[in-house]
């Protein structure tokens, strides 16, 4: 059966969520591709002002579990629609109402809150829309669609500014329109039962292995998001275009890699996939930290670029943590709240590790930052090898989807 016929035969909710995922991927990519240049053009930020913006960008990640608990009367689809409305308001306000640096920080906080609310929701809904035994494949397909839309969004920004004469205000409005489409699509999905507020705020002892994996992921995520590009810029003296090119290449690779990763999770299990991620991450740390001292400059630069692309792929393995949580959940109602709580947990550690790593870089050199990363990877390896899955998986009838998007 062709992909188009498979899509036509899919459930109504799955179609809506596919369109929502594509729209949010494109809109988010347009904002990401535009924001830094907009901030430099409008405010000519100092280094301190730019670094201080990480507070309103990351604080919503810490607060997402509290906000989700306050909005627990909304089901996941309704909360997803609201998160897109917040992203819409934040994006448009950044482009039109940022008269001062302080006001811009408020709008950035609003935008980031919408984005962080959507993170656990996207995984939980994706798993709800999967057939039993094909959960990883469904998440891989959805992530692939977001990768495709992100590449299209970045390319749109390039064309819009180079040839169409669009302004920052125009692009933020266009991004807002994308978030609006996503909000409408999610609002039109069939409502599900909402969760109790206390489920969001109460850690479960039975899920401690998942929480540990989430904490380790948050630590490694921020380390590489913050310092991997900084190595290319300050150690290898690469211009902005190099980072943009690598991000584009990684996005294109991800279109094909994500479904393969999802299939691997279903075929080989979370334990093996997460252990393989940890081993590869050790290689990435070694490449970032020591390639320049071991190889000629041009070879070391190519190794660093390869590590950058590999790490982009490894970030996607977080879907295995989501499917692991789904499999060990004692009740289906625990999945979304636990994913949300883990998002807040990982942000506590991601912000902390970034501050520590910055101090280590200044005091000892960038190599030691990636030694820290290698230690985290080793801890992640042991944590992955210790996870245990229930023999029969969940028997609670979560799945509700129609046929898969690609041949299963």
Residue with tokens 């709800």: 128
Q: What share of the chain is helix, strand, coil (3-state, %, to 5)?
A: 80, 0, 20
Short-list 247, 391, 231, 219, CA closest to 300? 231
> pTM for this one?
0.84
50: Cα separation from own chain's centroid? 21
What does the block give as tokens for 402?
């129609």
pLDDT by residue, tens only, the chain of 408 residues: 555 566 566 788 999 999 999 999 999 999 988 887 888 788 877 656 766 777 888 889 989 999 999 999 999 999 999 999 999 999 999 999 999 989 999 999 999 999 999 999 999 999 988 888 889 999 999 999 999 999 998 888 888 888 888 888 999 999 999 999 999 999 999 988 887 888 888 889 999 999 999 999 988 887 888 788 888 888 888 876 787 788 889 889 999 999 999 999 999 999 999 999 999 999 999 999 999 999 999 999 999 999 999 999 999 999 999 999 999 999 888 999 999 999 999 888 888 887 888 888 888 988 999 999 999 999 999 999 999 877 644 433 333 333 334 333
**pLDDT tens-digit map of 292-319:** 999 999 999 999 999 999 999 999 999 9
With beta carbons less than 8 A apart as the criterion, state whether 116 and 61 touch: yes
Distances (CA, A) of 170 to 160, 179, 288: 9, 14, 38
Domains annotated for the chain, with CATH where assigned, are: 1-202 (1.20.1250.20), 204-389 (1.20.1250.20)
Short-list 32, 116, 106, CA closest to 82? 116
Distance CA(288)–CA(284), nearest Å, equals 6
With beta carbons less than 8 A apart as the criterion, state whether 219 and 227 touch: no
Distance CA(403)–CA(130), nearest Å, equals 9
């Amino acid at each position: 059966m062709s992909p188009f016929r498979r899509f036509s035969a899919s459930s109504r909710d799955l179609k809506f969520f596919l369109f929502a995922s594509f729209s949010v991927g494109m809109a988010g990519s347009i904002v990401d591709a535009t924001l830094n240049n907009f901030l430099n053009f409008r405010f000519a930020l100092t280094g301190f002002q730019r670094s201080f913006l990480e507070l309103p960008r990351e604080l919503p990640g810490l607060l997402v579990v509290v906000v989700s608990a306050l909005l627990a009367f909304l089901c996941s689809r309704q909360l997803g629609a609201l998160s897109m409305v917040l992203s819409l308001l934040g994006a448009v306000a950044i482009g039109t109402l940022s008269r001062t640096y302080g006001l811009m920080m408020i709008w950035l906080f609003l935008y980031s809150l919408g984005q962080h609310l959507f993170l656990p929701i996207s995984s939980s809904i994706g798993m709800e829309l999967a057939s039993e035994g094909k959960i990883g494949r469904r998440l891989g397909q959805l992530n692939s669609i977001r990768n495709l839309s992100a590449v299209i969004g970045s390319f749109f920004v390039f064309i819009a500014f180079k040839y169409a004469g669009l302004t920052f205000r125009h692009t933020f409005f266009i991004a807002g329109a994308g978030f609006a489409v996503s909000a409408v699509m999610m609002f039109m999905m069939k409502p599900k039962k909402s969760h109790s507020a206390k489920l969001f705020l109460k850690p479960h002892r039975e899920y401690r292995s998942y929480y540990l994996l989430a904490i380790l992921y948050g630590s490694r995520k921020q380390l590489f998001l913050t310092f991997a590009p900084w190595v290319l810029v300050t150690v290898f003296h690469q211009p902005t275009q190099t980072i943009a090119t690598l991000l584009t290449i990684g996005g294109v690779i991800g279109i094909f890699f994500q479904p393969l990763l999802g299939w691997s999770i279903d075929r080989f299990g979370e334990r093996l996939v997460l252990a393989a991620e940890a081993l590869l991450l050790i290689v990435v740390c070694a490449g970032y930290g020591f390639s320049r001292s071991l190889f000629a400059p041009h070879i070391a630069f190519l190794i660093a670029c390869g590590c950058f692309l590999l790490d982009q792929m490894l970030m996607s393995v977080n879907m295995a943590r989501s499917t692991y949580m789904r499999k060990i959940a004692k009740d289906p109602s625990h999945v979304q709240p636990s994913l949300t709580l883990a998002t807040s947990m990982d942000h506590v550690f991601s912000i902390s590790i970034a501050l520590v790593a910055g101090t280590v870089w200044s005091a000892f050199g960038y190599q030691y930052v990636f030694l820290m990363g290698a230690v985290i990877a080793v801890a992640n390896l042991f944590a992955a090898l210790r996870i245990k899955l229930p023999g029969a998986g969940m028997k609670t009838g979560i799945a509700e989807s129609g046929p898969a998007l690609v041949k299963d």
